[in-house]
Every structure is written in C-alpha cells, then in structure tokens.
Amino acid sequence: MAYELPVLPYDYTALEPYISKSTLEFHHDKHHAAYVNNFNKAVAGTELDSLPIEEVIKKIAGDSSKTGVFNNAAQAWNHTFYWNSLKPNGGGTPSGAIADKINADFGSFEKFVEEFKNAGATQFGSGWAWLVLDNGTLKVTKTPNADNPLTAGQVPLLTMDVWEHAYYLDYQNKRPDYIETFISKLINWEFVNQNLAHA
C-alpha cells in the first residue's frame, strides 16, 4: 500500500512572489518525492507496509534500528502537512474557532506570532515550527530534522518548514524574513481550523 506523493494543492506559481516556482519544483518534486520513494522502498514487504503512514511514524519513533524508515516516513508526512499549511493570499489574522482559541490560550494573536517566530528562528539547523493541540491547549513547539508532534501525542494544526531547502532560493540566509512572510502572507488558516475541528 504505497504512500503516494500528493499533488500540490495549488499551482507552482501560486505562492509567488513569496515562494517561487523554482523553490516549489525543487522542494516538492525532488526533496518530498525522494522521502516518499525512500519510505516506500524501506517498508515494501514488511509488516509496516499495510499501515497508514501516521501509524508507522508513531510505531517506530525512538527505535534506533528504524531511524532511516522513521526519517523518510516523517518527512513524507511533514511535507504533505506543510503544503496544506500554505495558500495563495493567506496569512494575517485568522478568523473562526482558531482565532478564539489563540486568544484564549496565548492571550492574543500577537503573542502567538511572537512565540511562533521564536520557534522557527531558534530551531538550530534543520527542522520545523508547529502549532499543536496538547491536551486541549494550543502550544507552539519546534522539532529537529524529521521529528513531528505525532510522536509526542500532540495534534498538529500548522507547520512551518525551516529546513534551508524550504526558503534558500528565495531568502538565502535570511530565515527571519521567510518566517515573517510565512505568517503574514502564506498561512492557510482554513486548514488550521479544519484540523482544530477534527482534533
């Protein structure tokens, strides 16, 4: 039951000028595709082959003998989640249930933005910044490399990829500029609201 590389939920030029066609082509067609292919090869013919990818991630997290499988599984899943966290004409202040929940749990949208920016900027090396639901409360967290909140029993609502390949063609070494643009221009708050509703 091979995990398939999902088609991007928008055209390759849809996020310009904030994320370029070149970045999406490299990031989706090369990086994401490689994780998917490597994961499928690694689990082919094993007991993991029939499980949903989320179950594989949770089942093998922390098993040093399966680090390679975990890294490719989690990166395949993380990237799919990331594409859906973005949308053309996105970003800015959310509305709906997530807006109320952010105000309740962080005190204000500005406080959430401050914590989310900090998580993305202080993740040393490669990794991810997340908005998660943890025992009913919203939290900002960050994970290194391929790790994700599923392994900690948290519900991911939003992610920002801070691996260099996510932004380097467009922002070079200016990760804070990418983070600012992600929040103000790219977040798909409808996706976040859907994840909150299903949590």
4 assigned to some structural domain: no
Report the b/e string of 76-90 with b at 16+ CB within 10 A. bbbbbbbbbbbbeeb
Alpha helices in 132-174 (DSSP H): 168-171
User: At 59, which CATH number?
Assistant: 1.10.287.990
- 81 plus 159 within the same structural domain: no
pTM higher than the cut 0.95: yes
pLDDT in tens, the chain (199 residues): 689 999 999 999 999 999 999 999 999 999 999 999 999 999 999 999 999 999 999 999 999 999 999 999 999 999 999 999 999 999 999 999 999 999 999 999 999 999 999 999 999 999 999 999 999 999 999 999 999 999 999 999 999 999 999 999 999 999 999 999 999 999 999 999 999 999 9
Please tell me the distance from the alpha carbon of residue 18 to that of residue 88, in angstroms, as a whole number.
9
Is 79 part of any known ligand binding site?
yes
Is 161 part of any known ligand binding site?
yes
Residue that finishes a domain, picked among 43, 59, 85: 85
Q: Which domain holds residue 112?
A: 97-198
- 101 plus 65 within the same structural domain: no
- 41 plus 104 within the same structural domain: no
What is the identity of the amino acid at 115? E
- 152 plus 71 within the same structural domain: no
- How many residues does this entry show for the chain? 199
